[in-house]
């Protein structure tokens, strides 16, 4: 800590006063909540404000309006020092299972909106903040509020289903998911006359009562209204934070410390500090300077305080638009549109207008629009006040403007538009919401009155250079000319030359970005043409008007089977049942690996990874790291007492790179420190020197050229492909490429290894799909027996295949650190580290040669698959095998041949990922079928139907099966969707629509569950019945959101004939069920369910004599009697296939 004494920080958290005497400017609210206050319901997902898992509600008193503002925000970006005088509400503060659930928590849980549950507290808080401001929201409000929250499990539908019950249109059938809406005059077409089964009954939900919410602390109102507020100063280890109270003081500070950044929302400076290691000795926070929040409206426009948040700006502009004629609000409406897509609600709630301008990001959404609209900023410094126009001279470079270091932007002027003036904001991004734009544009044109002649035009682009750029030459070429196609074509030529990007431009996609500038200009041209037509300036015949993409959520209906009428009411199987942990997840009570409390002396570990893809390690210098405060030790390969590698499929993977690195992100060593922050600084201080090795391999093509593969390569064949090609009507060759994919499990790789202290025993708490593999890996690495290592898995915050192989490697490294120091060691990867170190889905190149007849029958196919496996084998060989096992999909092709190879490259190892190679395999297959359909000029669904399996069938790997279910599903889907009519409607729409096109497809799928390696198709279970009648179930599956514990609870309930409330599952532990298999391959529930079933059957049969003797007794009396008769109330179950 700094030796200087700072001020005391005062804030309220969940209604309780919290005072921090040593607030560190580098501390964000998230670690303060989790580590200091043990409020672990607020989760850390990405650390950069992108996922919403850490959403909290911030409440502040506004003295000017004497109102209280509530807004959602990302705790990972909120500096603790910024929150003096604020009230924070976390998920724990709105309700709990011990007291009373808040309606938001209850509805998300009971609507099945929680699976792995890691994102659920953030979802809850985003919705809660919305309801505090608007107790009866619209569906648009709900979708906007949730847009900043990611979920990787549910697909969002059940989350929205739960939240829409608060909607003011909640009684409308469309809001409730009905396909036919009363507002459209549609009637219920349910032919059976029976009500469709529902997943939840919203009539039983707790009502929302705003009077029951936490009140804003009166103490904070008195603090905010204090007549003489004091400047606040907080000193940390490396930074000082100053919060002035007046503009005069702010200018003095900035004059004295011109390099000190101004922090309002911390959405720019915060990520730079966290992810880029930028250090600012002094930070100035002008959040209490009233002049920065003032708004004044005049006849020519409005001055908006630079400190106003983007949400406040959005609300202001929306209020102003109806108050003025349409012709005056062109710029206002363009800004409203752009603000709707800029960041998330949480980001917009804290990011400031002035900060957005001054940060001068090259792909800024707002700056091109502000510049095109002739906005200007009012600046104050020690030299006085001045106004600076936002034009091409304002933005001078990456993150740089014409402003001087001591300038403070006080306000921004947004002018009204004039008659004959049109302003548009345009953007193209990978996603519609919460996504950095690829290219943005602000465009304005003004015409001579009653004319199509351009009097003035302004075109600004983001994403086309190191800063916002003006297409001044293009504007000059258009000015004075009529707004027509000839002018547009000339503008294209000039624009292409003016906005030239080098091929090496940061961000890549150069050709795409250049083409986007033309596309956006064309959209602007068409939109303005329509406006000129609407105002009768021109009489031209125009194509249909461009419409924005629809924002409303389409209605949907989920159908499922009723249980048999004679099924016992107590039997839960087949009935909608809430996830057994849903309430705990919605209240933040559910415990994940990193939520476990710290033990005394616990250390945090941060990995040091390679920055080179293919190089020799010539030096490793850890001396500087060891000198840093808090750093305890650095772990290298020399510290490993047992095996230094993990053997997989005949290949070795090093835990630590010793002599050579084979990818960027390979672990070289690990730094141990008393805190995560100290460990990160220590990792930055480690110096590694390299000598580059020649010819690194990155792409599949590189690997093919150099024959770099993981052996064995696989081939499968059926029939005689070569001969069949000689007898077909047509032959077609094609290929398709599928890129990789990040798992992006919400909970990153997390583990805690605790030495017991005697007999080399270790407890490993880890987020893994395969506890036994982690147990074996740790034992081998430490050179101890597996019985000394107990692996515990409470639950995972998502996995999708990514928490198997690499997790065992990371657990081994963490165990080495715990063994060497004899202290508990925690390793939780940050999102960037996780994405760097771990691989994802295998990119695949698929080539095919297909022979087919003119009637659509496919006679022969020869496939070649190449998967980019990365630098270590991982599960790549198994995935390449799985690809071949599914290359028939649902089609009975008589002559089939497939080749599959896992390419060895200098990239992080790719691994298992939902589908395990099948999505890649089927993409190639279905693309081939589409090509056949296109070649024949026939609808693809007809070609698919012609080639489907029919009658008793055998696959190319000799598996016998009946395709009856496949055919029935196919026919039912076509019938229920009215597919043929939809296809005709699509064709008709596409003929009539110039700008928008529609498509429709129906795809069959045949997917094989369980493992190809038969030894993995086994499971064990252990069931205890206690004397009070309660049941404890342990099994080998891990709970990662799929609800396996809930399903095991249902199985035990049915087999023991007891309510589910009597069945409890605590965790998955290698000490309860040994030698488990991974929860994967869509087989975990089947295998473990059968094991639990067997154990319960054994126990129930043991109670049979007692039940016969006392048929009128209760479950509890039977169990007590069994204990008295010395009957064992514990049983194991086992299943194998």
Q: State pLDDT tens for residues 446-497.
A: 998 889 999 999 999 999 999 999 999 999 999 999 999 999 999 999 999 9
Give the count of alpha carbons within 13 A of 1023, CB side only: 32
Q: In 3D, which of 144, 382, 343 has the Cα closest to residue 252?
A: 382
CB atoms within 10 A of CB 776: 19
pTM of the model: 0.95
Q: What is the DSSP string of 140-161?
A: HHHHHHHTT---SSS-SHHHHH
pLDDT of residue 1 exceeding 50: no
The pLDDT value given to residue 227: 78
Please work out, in degrees rounded to the nearest 5, the angle formed at the alpha carbon of residue 1024 by the alpha carbons of 1022 and 1028. 165
Inter-residue contact 679 to 830 (CB < 8 Å): no
> What pLDDT does 277 receive?
86
Q: How confident is the model at residue 558 (pLDDT cuts 50, 70, 90)?
A: confident
Cα–Cα distance for residue pair 862/723, rounded to 1 Å: 12
Which letter, b or e, does each residue of 305-341 get, where b requires 16 or more Cβ atoms within 10 Å of its Cβ? bbbbbbbbbbebbeebeeeeeeebbbbbbbbbbbbbb
Token pair recorded at residue 266: 């911390």
Percent of the chain with pLDDT over 70: 97
Q: Is 619 left (phi over 0), alpha (psi -120 to 50) or beta?
A: beta
Residue 1054: φ, ψ to 5° = -65, -45
In this prediction, what percent of the chain has a pLDDT beyond 90?
Answer: 88
Q: Quote the pLDDT of residue 275.
A: 87
DSSP class of residue 398?
Answer: T
Alpha-carbon distances, residue 619 vs 602, 634, 688 (angstroms)? 30, 15, 6
Say what the pLDDT of residue 188 is.
45
Query: What is the C-alpha to C-alpha distance for residues 420 and 470, in angstroms, rounded to an integer?
Result: 22
Name the 3-class secondary structure at 868: strand
Mean pLDDT score, 639-657: 96
Give the per-residue pLDDT at 190. Answer: 47
Q: Which two tokens stand for residue 323?
A: 């108050």
Which residues, 6+ apart, have CB-to-CB distance to 681 below 8 Å? Answer: 628, 630, 631, 673
Residue of 33 and 181 predicted with greater confidence: 33
Classified as helix, coil or strand, 713 is strand
Tokens of 504: 């090496």
pLDDT digits (tens, 9 = 90+) for 235-260: 999 999 999 999 999 999 999 999 99
| Apex 582 CA angle, 105 and 15, nearest 5 | 35
**Secondary structure tally for the chain: helices H, strands E:** 33, 43
C-alpha distance from residue 138 to each of 19, 142, 175, 222 (Å): 38, 6, 10, 35
pLDDT of residue 821 exceeding 70, the answer is yes
Q: Among 140-154, 275-289, 535-549, 982-996, where is mean pLDDT lowest?
A: 535-549
pLDDT value at residue 186? 46
The answer to whether 649 and 877 are in contact (CB under 8 A) is yes
pLDDT band at 621 (very low <50, low <70, confident <90, very high): very high
Q: Before 712, cis peptide (omega within 30)?
A: yes
Alpha-carbon dihedral angle through residues 154, 155, 158, 160, given to the nearest 10 degrees: 130
Q: Are 925 and 891 in contact (CB under 8 A)?
A: yes
pLDDT computed for residue 184 by the predictor: 44
Residues 897-948 pLDDT 10s: 999 999 999 999 999 999 999 999 999 999 999 999 999 999 999 999 999 9
Q: Give residue 917's pLDDT.
A: 96
Tokens of 130: 């919305």
547: left (phi > 0), else alpha (psi -120 to 50), else beta?
beta
Reference 499, options 470, 535, 527; nearest CA is 470
Residue 682: strand, helix, or coil: helix
- What is d(CA 13, CA 20) in angstroms, rounded to the nearest whole number? 12
Q: 394-417: string of b/e by CB count within 10 Å (b at 16+)?
A: bbeeeeebebeebbbbbbbbbbbb
Confidence of residue 3 (pLDDT cuts 50, 70, 90): low
Residue in 960, 899, 955, 958 with CA at minimum distance from that of residue 924: 899
**How far is it, in rounded angstroms, from Cα 129 to Cα 89?**
9
Residue among 1032, 739, 729, 1004 nearest 892 (CA)? 1004
pLDDT at 553 over 90: no
Residue 369: partners with Cβ closer than 8 Å, 6 or more residues away: 331, 334, 335, 338, 423, 425, 442, 460
Answer with the residue of higher pLDDT: 65 or 785.
785
The 10s digit of each residue's pLDDT in 428-457 is: 999 888 899 999 999 999 998 889 999 999
User: Could you say which DSSP state residue 266 is in?
Assistant: -
Q: What is the pLDDT of residue 1094?
A: 98
Task: Indicate the average pLDDT of the chain.
Answer: 94
Beta-bridge partner residues of 903: 709, 868
Rounded to 5 degrees, what are φ and ψ at 1114? -100, 165
Q: What strand order describes the sheet that includes 408-415?
A: 295-297, 301-305, 408-415, 376-381, 384-389
Q: Rounded distance, CA 378 to CA 408, Å?
A: 9
Q: What are the DSSP E strand ranges found in 176-222?
A: none
Which of these ranges, 427-431, 761-765, 780-784, has the smallest mean pLDDT? 427-431
3-class state of residue 522 by DSSP: helix
Which one, of 381, 390, 409, lies nearest residue 467 by Cα?
A: 390
**What is the reported pLDDT for 102?**
97
Helices (H), 451-573: 472-478, 485-498, 510-534
HEC letters along 60-129: EEECCCCEEEEEEEECCCCEHHHHCCCEEECHHHCCCCCCCCCHHHHHHHHCCCCCCCCCHHHHHHHHHH
Say which DSSP state 707 is in. T
The whole-number average pLDDT for the span 752-775 is 97
Model pLDDT, residue 653? 96
Give the residue-averaged pLDDT of 199-203.
86
The whole-number average pLDDT for the span 288-293 is: 95
- Examine the pLDDT at 192 and tell me if it is beyond 50: no
3-state SS of 774-841 is HHHHHHHHHCCCHHHEEEEECCCCCCCCCCCHHHHHHHHHHHHHHHHHCCCEEEECCHHHHHHHCCCE
Quote helix, strand, coil % in the chain, to nearest 5: 35, 20, 45
Distance between CA 975 and CA 968 in Å, rounded?
10
User: Please, which pLDDT band fits residue 862 given cuts at 50, 70 and 90?
Assistant: very high
- Which tens digit of pLDDT belongs to each residue from 875-905? 999 999 999 999 999 999 999 999 999 999 9
Average pLDDT rounded to a whole number, residues 220-247: 93
858-870 vs 895-904, strand pairing mode: parallel
């Amino acid at each position: 800590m700094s030796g200087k004494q700072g001020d005391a920080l005062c804030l309220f958290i969940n209604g309780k006063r919290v005072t921090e005497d040593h607030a560190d400017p580098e501390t964000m609210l998230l670690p303060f909540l989790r580590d200091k206050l043990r409020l672990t319901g607020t989760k850390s997902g990405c650390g950069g404000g992108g996922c919403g898992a850490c959403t909290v509600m911030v409440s502040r008193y506004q003295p000017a309006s004497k109102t209280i503002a509530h807004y959602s925000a990302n705790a990972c970006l909120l500096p603790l020092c910024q929150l003096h005088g604020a009230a924070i509400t976390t998920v724990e503060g709105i309700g709990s299972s011990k007291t009373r659930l808040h309606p938001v928590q209850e509805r998300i849980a009971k609507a099945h909106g929680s699976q792995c549950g890691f994102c659920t507290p953030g979802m809850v808080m985003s919705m809660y903040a919305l309801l505090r401001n608007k107790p009866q929201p619209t569906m648009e409000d709900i979708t906007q509020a949730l847009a900043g929250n990611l979920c990787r499990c549910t697909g969002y539908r059940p989350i929205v289903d739960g939240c829409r019950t608060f909607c003011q249109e909640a009684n409308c059938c469309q809001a409730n998911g009905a396909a036919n809406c009363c507002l459209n005059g549609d009637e219920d077409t349910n032919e059976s006359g029976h009500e469709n089964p529902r997943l939840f009954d919203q009539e039983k939900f707790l009502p929302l009562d705003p009077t029951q919410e936490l009140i804003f602390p009166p103490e904070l109102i008195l603090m905010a209204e204090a007549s003489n507020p004091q400047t606040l100063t907080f000193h940390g280890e490396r930074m000082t934070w100053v919060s002035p109270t007046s503009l005069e003081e702010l200018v003095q500070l900035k004059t004295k410390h011109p390099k000190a950044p101004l922090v309002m929302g911390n959405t720019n400076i915060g990520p730079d500090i966290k992810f880029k290691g930028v250090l600012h000795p002094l930070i100035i926070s002008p959040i209490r300077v009233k002049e920065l929040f003032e708004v004044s409206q005049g006849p020519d426009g409005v001055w908006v305080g630079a400190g106003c948040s983007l949400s406040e700006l959005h609300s202001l502009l929306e209020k102003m638009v109806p108050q003025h004629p349409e012709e005056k609000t062109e710029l206002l409406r363009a800004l409203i549109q752009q603000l709707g897509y800029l960041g998330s609600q949480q980001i917009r709630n804290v990011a400031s207008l002035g900060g957005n301008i001054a940060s001068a990001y090259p792909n800024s959404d707002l700056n091109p629009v502000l510049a095109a609209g002739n906005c200007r900023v009012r600046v104050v410094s020690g030299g006085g006040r001045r106004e600076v126009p936002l034009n091409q001279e304002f933005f001078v470079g990456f993150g740089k403007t014409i402003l001087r270091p001591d300038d403070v932007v006080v306000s921004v002027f947004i002018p009204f538009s004039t008659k004959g003036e049109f302003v548009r904001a345009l953007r193209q991004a990978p996603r519609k919401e919460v996504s950095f734009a690829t290219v943005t544009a602000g465009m304005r044109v003004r015409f001579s009155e009653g004319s199509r002649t351009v009097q003035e035009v302004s075109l600004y682009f983001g994403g086309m250079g190191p800063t916002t750029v003006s297409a001044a030459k293009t504007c000059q070429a258009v000015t004075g000319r009529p707004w027509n196609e000839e002018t547009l074509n000339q503008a294209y030529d000039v624009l292409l030359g003016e906005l030239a990007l080098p091929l090496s431009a940061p961000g890549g996609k150069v050709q795409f970005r250049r083409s986007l500038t033309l596309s956006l200009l064309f959209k602007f041209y068409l939109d303005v043409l329509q406006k000129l037509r609407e105002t009768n300036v021109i009489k031209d015949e125009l194509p249909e008007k461009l419409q924005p993409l629809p924002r409303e959520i389409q209605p949907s209906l989920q159908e499922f089977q009723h249980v048999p009428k004679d099924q016992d009411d107590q039997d839960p199987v087949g009935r909608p049942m809430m996830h057994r942990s849903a309430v705990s997840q919605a209240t933040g009570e559910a415990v994940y690996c990193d939520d476990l409390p710290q033990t005394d002396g616990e250390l945090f570990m941060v990995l040091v990874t390679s920055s080179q893809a293919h190089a020799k390690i010539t030096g490793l210098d850890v001396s500087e790291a060891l000198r840093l405060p808090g750093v305890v030790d650095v772990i290298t390969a020399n510290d490993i007492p047992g095996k230094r590698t993990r053997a997989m499929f005949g290949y070795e993977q090093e835990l630590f790179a010793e002599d050579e690195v084979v990818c960027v992100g390979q672990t070289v060593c690990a730094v141990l420190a008393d805190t995560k922050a100290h460990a990160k600084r220590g990792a930055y201080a480690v110096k590694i020197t390299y000598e580059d090795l020649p010819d690194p391999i990155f792409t599949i093509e590189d690997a093919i050229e150099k024959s770099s593969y993981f052996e064995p390569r696989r081939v499968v064949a059926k029939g005689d492909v070569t001969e069949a090609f000689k007898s077909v009507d047509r032959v077609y060759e094609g290929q398709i490429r599928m890129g990789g994919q990040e798992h992006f499990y919400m909970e990153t790789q997390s583990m805690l290894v605790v030495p017991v202290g005697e007999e080399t025993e270790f407890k490993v708490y880890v987020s893994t799909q395969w506890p036994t593999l982690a147990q074996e890996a740790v034992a081998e690495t430490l050179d101890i027996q597996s019985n000394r290592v107990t692996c515990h898995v409470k639950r995972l915050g998502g996995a999708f295949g990514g928490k198997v192989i690499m997790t065992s490697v990371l657990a081994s490294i963490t165990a080495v650190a715990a063994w060497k120091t004899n202290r508990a060691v925690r390793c939780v990867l940050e999102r960037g580290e996780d994405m760097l170190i771990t691989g994802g889905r295998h990119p695949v190149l698929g080539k095919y040669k297909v022979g087919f007849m003119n009637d659509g029958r496919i006679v022969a196919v020869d496939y070649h698959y190449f998967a980019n496996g990365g630098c270590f084998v991982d599960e790549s060989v198994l995935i390449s095998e799985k690809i071949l096992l599914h290359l028939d999909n649902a089609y009975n092709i008589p002559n089939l041949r497939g080749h599959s190879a896992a390419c060895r490259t200098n990239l992080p190892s790719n691994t298992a990922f939902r589908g395990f190679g099948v999505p890649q395999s089927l993409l190639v297959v279905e693309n081939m079928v589409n090509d056949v359909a296109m070649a024949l000029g026939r609808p693809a669904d007809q070609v698919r139907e012609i080639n489907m399996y029919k009658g008793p069938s055998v696959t190319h790997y000799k598996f016998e099966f009946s395709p009856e279910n496949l055919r029935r599903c196919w026919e039912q889907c076509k019938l229920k969707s009215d597919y043929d009519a939809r296809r005709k409607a699509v064709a008709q729409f596409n003929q009539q629509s110039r700008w928008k096109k529609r498509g429709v497809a129906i795809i069959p799928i045949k997917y094989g569950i369980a493992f190809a390696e038969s030894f993995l198709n086994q499971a064990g279970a252990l069931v205890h019945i206690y004397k009070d009648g309660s049941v404890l179930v342990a099994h080998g599956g891990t709970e990662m959101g799929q609800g396996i514990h809930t399903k095991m609870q249902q199985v035990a309930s049915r087999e023991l004939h007891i309510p589910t409330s009597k069945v409890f599952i605590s965790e998955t532990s290698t000490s309860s069920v040994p030698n488990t298999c991974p929860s994967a391959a869509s087989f975990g529930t089947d295998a473990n369910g059968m094991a639990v079933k067997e154990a319960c059957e054994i126990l129930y049969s043991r109670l049979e004599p007692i039940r016969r003797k006392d048929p009128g007794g209760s479950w509890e009396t039977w169990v007590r009697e069994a204990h008295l008769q010395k009957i064992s109330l514990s049983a194991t179950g086992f299943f194998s296939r």
